[in-house]
Amino acid sequence: MNRRTHVVLSEQLVKEIDTLVGSRQRSGFIALAVERELVRRRQLKALDQLVAWDEKDHPELKQGAAKYVRKLRREYDEHLEKATGR
């Protein structure tokens, strides 16, 4: 069910919308844009409610993820070298 409402938009915004979709499609365009924004905001809210990353739980990354990954690769290469004798 649709409901009429009064929304105030700048003249420039209305012109841009009308140029893009035409004045007879303005309401549909605005409704779609609002629906998409509501979905985006709900997703952001859901992400905020998840357990956030806490640096204290990952002290190995204190020097940066790239440095940590290089260390892991170096350790893997050393292990492989010992195991294969290369």
Instruction: State mean pLDDT over 36-44.
Output: 97
Q: pTM (2 decimals)?
A: 0.58
Q: What is the pLDDT of residues 50-61, one digit of tens each?
A: 877 788 888 888
Q: What is the dihedral of CA 75, 78, 80, 81, to 10 degrees?
A: 170
Q: What is the DSSP track for 25-36?
A: GHHHHHHHHHHH
Q: What does the DSSP 8-state code read for residue 46? A: H
Closest CA relative to residue 71, chosen from 57, 79, 86, 54: 79
